[in-house]
Chain A
């Protein structure tokens, strides 16, 4: 059962080459054996997985048809709620929190018969780019265990890369699906903002967060995305995307020059430039474009994201859930003690940064300014998409870095420099493996216009086919 994909596993189940329980047990055993090495899972939901697998086997033994994802073992990032399962968000403050409902995406996948293997490790509250910030230990990159898997969905990307599951869910606020996918050599897709419900996703920055799939190939990512998307009455920012998949024919492809300037490793640059030429060979028209506001995207992101996070994380007060706090002298002391004990450094840093930029006297200079530049960035992208159908860029400026290498917060933030713009503008984007430097994977990012998720997936799939030839 090694190295299956969702499509192959589905065929295996139908042909009765293995049962759903055998499939689930294969992955559960592998996780139990190797989790010590990679630390990609925070919890394993074995009882739930076997129960779900059994009902698929029952259905198969009755001769009933099963759907594409039925009996397929998946891993879920531990900031997405599964009813009655511990959901930590990678934080000490939630180490004993049992979710009281299913996230919208979980409800959908559960209904389709997906088998949930467990919850994957992440940077605390999804804040980080290396999965070194988890209260439950550092995740190791399966390609090279001395290196980070990227983050914040590092556990999900590592789980897919290590063949601990057939697919995973991650969340992406500034690159947290695409960057770890690039570092681990797997597919990571961030849908358009609003395509997938965030109900039951522990919020970091609500105007940027989006759930999406991490998978072994584009087809699998597509299957997962099509199963979780759609308008949801529990998330008022969702809508149905009516972009029908079709033969897209010859495309105009833009390559923004700002993504190839200072900061990119020359090896990564060479690979990306070489791969972009392949799109020309596929018959598409490739041209250079310019997005001058790109250089401001990360600064905008580091105002808007902490501001929203500081508001979202105000709910962790030690009263409704979480650990029992030390009683302080008064209520403010109580809150301050609980939060000091429960939050790690990066979370505290971002909450304070957000509190500062939203505080009286600074809001105009920081928050309003960032919202204006965000408007500018979105407009610039809308304009560029009048002349091209998609954009191609590197996903990250370098390959996976060493554990402990980036100690200074700002240098860590810079690893998201090519991914944040997409979140600020709400666009769909995918990272596809496109080569290696030494043995470390490099990701090619394909960015589409807002709500053209199918276009992005379709071009990614044809590129992947070309690479597999």
Chain B
């Protein structure tokens, strides 16, 4: 179970603004998913090692070189707001 106060908190962590009505709706929906997920507690995993991937590949590395710069302009052109050669962001300090 998860209440509206907790939803408000995770929405803040996830950087998504919610209205009060949405907090209520998501609290209900996320709670029912969490209830379903709770069935994992039935499973004994004492001697099982957790896995985060399936291929078994390890330590795949590449050359530490910088990619070509030719795409820079194209990439910057996608930015909603830019100045010269930079992405423009809202101010973070007063």
Max count, chain A CB within 10 A of own CB: residue among B12, B33, B48, B53: B33
> Which chain A residues (362-383) contact chain B, with CB distance < 8 Å?
366, 368-376, 378-379
Provide the residues of chain B in CB contact with A335, threshold 8 Å.
15
Provide the residues of chain A in CB contact with B41, threshold 8 Å.
369
For B87, give its contact among A319, A323, A353 (CB under 8 Å): A319
Q: Are B16 and A339 in contact (CB under 8 A)?
A: yes
Q: Is A98 an interface residue, CB under 8 A from the partner?
A: yes
Provide the residues of chain A in CB contact with B81, threshold 8 Å.
319, 324
- Indicate whether A378 sits within 8 Å of B36 (C-beta atoms), given known contacts A325-B80, A352-B26: no
Name the CB-closest residue of A to B55: A194
Q: Are A296 and B39 in contact (CB under 8 A)?
A: yes
Question: Which of A107-115, A150-158, A299-307 interfaces with chain B?
Answer: A299-307
> Which chain A residues (320-351) contact chain B, with CB distance < 8 Å?
320-325, 327-328, 330-337, 339-340, 343, 348-349, 351
> Which chain B residues (5-54) contact chain A, with CB distance < 8 Å?
6-7, 10-18, 26, 29-30, 32-34, 36-43, 45, 48-54
Q: Are A368 and B37 in contact (CB under 8 A)?
A: no
Task: Report Cα–Cα, A440/B17, bound state, in Å.
Answer: 41
Task: Report Cα–Cα, A149/B2, bound state, in Å.
Answer: 33
Name the CB-closest residue of B to A329: B90
- Indicate whether A349 sits within 8 Å of B30 (C-beta atoms), given known contacts A356-B10, A376-B45: yes
Q: Are B33 and A239 in contact (CB under 8 A)?
A: no
Q: Give the distance to chain B from A353, nearest Cβ to Cβ, in Å.
A: 6
Q: Are A340 and B43 in contact (CB under 8 A)?
A: no
Provide the residues of chain A in CB contact with B88, threshold 8 Å.
319
Provide the residues of chain B in CB contact with A366, threshold 8 Å.
37
Q: Are B48 and A328 in contact (CB under 8 A)?
A: no
Q: Are A323 and B80 in contact (CB under 8 A)?
A: yes
Q: Is A469 an interface residue, CB under 8 A from the partner?
A: no
Task: Report Cα–Cα, A425/B34, bound state, in Å.
Answer: 23
Provide the residues of chain A in CB contact with B26, threshold 8 Å.
348-349, 352
Interface residues of A (CB under 8 A from B): 97-98, 100-101, 193-194, 207, 233, 236-237, 239, 293, 295-296, 298-300, 302-303, 310, 314, 317-325, 327-328, 330-337, 339-340, 343, 348-349, 351-353, 355-356, 359, 366, 368-376, 378-379, 408-410, 413, 424-426, 450
Lowest 7 A-B CB distances belong to which pairs?
A426-B54, A371-B50, A324-B80, A372-B45, A236-B60, A336-B17, A340-B17
Name the CB-closest residue of A to B75: A100
Q: Are A375 and B71 in contact (CB under 8 A)?
A: no
Q: Are B50 and A374 in contact (CB under 8 A)?
A: yes
Q: Give the distance to chain A from B55, nearest Cβ to Cβ, in Å.
A: 4
Q: Are B90 and A328 in contact (CB under 8 A)?
A: yes
Q: Give the distance to chain B from A299, nearest Cβ to Cβ, in Å.
A: 5
Q: Give the distance to chain B from A130, nearest Cβ to Cβ, in Å.
A: 16
Q: Are B33 and A376 in contact (CB under 8 A)?
A: no
Q: Is B74 an interface residue, CB under 8 A from the partner?
A: yes
Q: Are A426 and B55 in contact (CB under 8 A)?
A: yes
Q: Are A355 and B14 in contact (CB under 8 A)?
A: yes
Name the CB-closest residue of B to A374: B51
A sample of 9 inter-chain contacts (CB < 8 A) reads A194-B54, A194-B57, A207-B53, A207-B54, A319-B89, A348-B16, A352-B7, A353-B33, A374-B51
Q: Are A236 and B62 in contact (CB under 8 A)?
A: yes
Task: Report Cα–Cα, A400/B32, bound state, in Å.
Answer: 24
Provide the residues of chain A in CB contact with B85, threshold 8 Å.
none
Q: Are A296 and B29 in contact (CB under 8 A)?
A: no
Q: Is B66 an interface residue, CB under 8 A from the partner?
A: no
Provide the residues of chain A in CB contact with B52, threshold 8 Å.
207, 371
Provide the residues of chain B in CB contact with A236, threshold 8 Å.
57, 60, 62
Provide the residues of chain B in CB contact with A296, threshold 8 Å.
39-40, 42-43
Q: Are A372 and B80 in contact (CB under 8 A)?
A: no
Q: Are B49 and A352 in contact (CB under 8 A)?
A: no
Q: Give the distance to chain A from B9, nearest Cβ to Cβ, in Å.
A: 9
Task: Report Cα–Cα, A263/B46, bound state, in Å.
Answer: 30
Provide the residues of chain A in CB contact with B6, threshold 8 Å.
356
For B33, give its contact among A295, A340, A370, A410 (CB under 8 Å): A410
Q: Are A450 and B54 in contact (CB under 8 A)?
A: yes
- Indicate whether A351 sits within 8 Å of B14 (C-beta atoms), given known contacts A100-B71, A321-B80, A356-B2: yes
Q: Are B48 and A372 in contact (CB under 8 A)?
A: yes
Q: Give the distance to chain A from B57, nearest Cβ to Cβ, in Å.
A: 6
